[in-house]
Chains A and B, each alone.
Chain A
Amino acid sequence: MTVLVVDDIETSRNHLVELVTDIGYHCIQAASGGEALQHIDFTHVDIVLLDLLMPDLDGFELTRQLRKRVTGTWLPIIVVSSLEGDEHFVHALAVGAADYLVKPVRPALLHAKLRHYQHVLALQAHTATLAQRQKAINETIADAILTIDSKGQVCEFNRAARQLFEAEAGADLTGRPVRELLGIGLEQLRSTAEIVHPGAGLAPPTFSLSSSEWSIGADSYCTIALHDLSAARRVERMKDEFLATVSHELRTPLTSIVGALGLLVAGAAGTLPPAAMELAAVAQRNGARLGRLIDDLLDLTKLEGKRMTLHIREASLKALLGEAVTANTGYARQLGVQLKLHTLVGAAHAPVDADRFLQVMANLLSNAIKHSPTGMTVDLRLLADPLGWRIEVADQGPGVDPEFRTRMFEKFSQADGSDQRSVGGTGLGLYISRMLVERMGGSISSSSSAGQGSVFSVVLPRLPADRPSPWVLCIARDHQELDRLATWISDLARTELVPDLVTAQALVQRIGAPTALVANPQSQGLADEFCAKLPTITAIDRIVLVGDALDDRFALRHGMRWMPHSSTSREALKTQLLTLLNEASGGASHG
Chain B
Amino acid sequence: MDELQRVMCVEDDPDIRMILEFSLGRLGGYTLSLCASGQEALDQAARFAPQLVLLDVMMPKMSGPETLQHLRSVDCMRGVPIVFLTAKALQDDVEALLEQGATGIIVKPFDPVTLPKDIRIYWKHGRDIHP
Query: Shortest Cβ distance from B90 into chain A, in angstroms?
Result: 7
B89 A247 Cβ-Cβ under 8 A: yes
- The verdict on A503 contacting chain B, using a C-beta distance below 8 Å, is yes
A269 B22 Cβ-Cβ under 8 A: yes
Q: Which B96-112 residues sit within 8 Å CB-CB of chain A? A: 98-99, 108-112
Task: Choose from B16, B22, B88, B92 the contact partner of A268 (Cβ within 8 Å).
Answer: B22
How many Å lie between the Cα of A529 and that of B92 in the bound state?
A: 31
Q: Which B6-31 residues sit within 8 Å CB-CB of chain A? A: 13, 15-16, 18-19, 22-23, 26-27
- The verdict on A564 contacting chain B, using a C-beta distance below 8 Å, is no
- The verdict on A311 contacting chain B, using a C-beta distance below 8 Å, is yes
Q: Which B78-120 residues sit within 8 Å CB-CB of chain A? A: 87-93, 98-99, 108-113
Residue of B nearest to A501 (CB): B129
| A-side contacts of B129, CB under 8 Å | 500-502, 525
A502 B88 Cβ-Cβ under 8 A: no
Task: Choose from A251, A268, A311 the contact partner of B87 (Cβ within 8 Å).
Answer: A251
- The verdict on A526 contacting chain B, using a C-beta distance below 8 Å, is yes
How many Å lie between the Cα of A248 and that of B113 in the bound state?
A: 22
Query: Shortest Cβ distance from B73 into chain A, in angstroms?
Result: 15
B131 A525 Cβ-Cβ under 8 A: yes
| A-side contacts of B131, CB under 8 Å | 525-526, 529
Say yes or no: A256-B13 contact (C-beta < 8 A), given A244-B88, A295-B89.
yes
How many Å lie between the Cα of A247 and that of B111 in the bound state?
A: 18
| B-side contacts of A256, CB under 8 Å | 13, 15-16, 18-19
Residue of A nearest to B15 (CB): A256
| B-side contacts of A291, CB under 8 Å | 109
B19 A247 Cβ-Cβ under 8 A: no
Which of A196-204, A258-266, A361-369, A406-414 forms contacts with chain B? A258-266
How many Å lie between the Cα of A213 and that of B110 in the bound state?
A: 57
Residue of B nearest to A479 (CB): B99
Task: Choose from B26, B93, B113, B125 the contact partner of A262 (Cβ within 8 Å).
Answer: B113
| A-side contacts of B26, CB under 8 Å | 268
A259 B87 Cβ-Cβ under 8 A: no
B91 A258 Cβ-Cβ under 8 A: no
How many Å lie between the Cα of A253 and that of B22 in the bound state?
A: 17
Query: Shortest Cβ distance from B63 into chain A, in angstroms?
Result: 12
- The verdict on B58 contacting chain A, using a C-beta distance below 8 Å, is yes
How many Å lie between the Cα of A258 and that of B58 in the bound state?
A: 20
A259 B112 Cβ-Cβ under 8 A: yes
Q: Which A223-281 residues sit within 8 Å CB-CB of chain B? A: 244, 247-248, 251-260, 262-263, 266, 268-269
- The verdict on B47 contacting chain A, using a C-beta distance below 8 Å, is no
Q: Which of A252, A269, A499, A500 has the most CB of B within 10 A?
A: A252
Residue of A nearest to B128 (CB): A502
Interface SS of A by simple majority: helix
Say yes or no: A255-B108 contact (C-beta < 8 A), given A247-B87, A263-B22, A268-B26.
yes
A252 B16 Cβ-Cβ under 8 A: yes
A259 B110 Cβ-Cβ under 8 A: yes
| A-side contacts of B93, CB under 8 Å | 244
A263 B113 Cβ-Cβ under 8 A: yes
| A-side contacts of B61, CB under 8 Å | none
Total chain B interface residues with beta-carbon distance under 8 A: 30
B109 A298 Cβ-Cβ under 8 A: no
| A-side contacts of B112, CB under 8 Å | 259, 262-263, 266, 268
- 1/0 contact trace for A501-541 toward B, CB 8 Å? 11100000000000000000000011001000000000000
- The verdict on A172 contacting chain B, using a C-beta distance below 8 Å, is no
A525 B19 Cβ-Cβ under 8 A: no
How many Å lie between the Cα of A62 and that of B4 in the bound state?
A: 108
How many Å lie between the Cα of A401 and that of B93 in the bound state?
A: 40
- The verdict on A355 contacting chain B, using a C-beta distance below 8 Å, is yes
A268 B27 Cβ-Cβ under 8 A: yes
A259 B98 Cβ-Cβ under 8 A: no
How many Å lie between the Cα of A302 and that of B110 in the bound state?
A: 23
Say yes or no: A298-B89 contact (C-beta < 8 A), given A269-B22, A291-B109, A501-B129.
yes
- The verdict on A309 contacting chain B, using a C-beta distance below 8 Å, is yes
Residue of A nearest to B94 (CB): A355
| B-side contacts of A259, CB under 8 Å | 16, 19, 23, 109-112
| B-side contacts of A501, CB under 8 Å | 128-129
How many Å lie between the Cα of A44 and that of B87 in the bound state?
A: 76
B13 A248 Cβ-Cβ under 8 A: no
Task: Choose from B13, B88, B99, B130 the contact partner of A247 (Cβ within 8 Å).
Answer: B88
Query: Shortest Cβ distance from B23 into chain A, in angstroms?
Result: 7
How many Å lie between the Cα of A252 and that of B47 in the bound state?
A: 30
| B-side contacts of A500, CB under 8 Å | 129
B90 A298 Cβ-Cβ under 8 A: yes
Query: Shortest Cβ distance from B21 into chain A, in angstroms?
Result: 10
A252 B108 Cβ-Cβ under 8 A: yes
Query: Shortest Cβ distance from A303 into chain B, in angstroms?
Result: 12
How many Å lie between the Cα of A248 and that of B63 in the bound state?
A: 14
Query: Shortest Cβ distance from A386 into chain B, in angstroms?
Result: 32
Residue of A nearest to B104 (CB): A502
Query: Shortest Cβ distance from A589 into chain B, in angstroms?
Result: 35
Query: Shortest Cβ distance from B102 into chain A, in angstroms?
Result: 11
Q: Which of A255, A256, A502 has the most CB of B within 10 A?
A: A255
A309 B113 Cβ-Cβ under 8 A: no
A499 B99 Cβ-Cβ under 8 A: yes
| A-side contacts of B99, CB under 8 Å | 499
Residue of A nearest to B98 (CB): A503
Q: Which of A244, A259, A260, A295 has the most CB of B within 10 A?
A: A259
Query: Shortest Cβ distance from A500 into chain B, in angstroms?
Result: 6
How many Å lie between the Cα of A83 and that of B26 in the bound state?
A: 122
Say yes or no: A309-B91 contact (C-beta < 8 A), given A259-B110, A499-B99, A502-B129.
yes
12 contacts between A and B (CB under 8 A): A244-B90, A248-B87, A256-B13, A256-B16, A257-B109, A258-B109, A263-B27, A268-B23, A268-B113, A287-B109, A298-B89, A355-B91
> A residues within 8 Å of B by Cβ?
244, 247-248, 251-260, 262-263, 266, 268-269, 287, 291, 295, 298, 302, 309, 311, 355, 499-503, 525-526, 529
Assuming A247-B87, A251-B87, A262-B112, what are 11 further A-B pairs, CB within 8 angstroms? Answer: A251-B108, A252-B16, A254-B108, A255-B13, A255-B87, A255-B109, A263-B22, A266-B27, A266-B113, A501-B129, A502-B128
> B residues within 8 Å of A by Cβ?
13, 15-16, 18-19, 22-23, 26-27, 58, 87-93, 98-99, 108-113, 125, 128-131
**5 closest Cβ contacts across the A-B interface?**
A251-B87, A259-B19, A256-B15, A255-B109, A255-B108
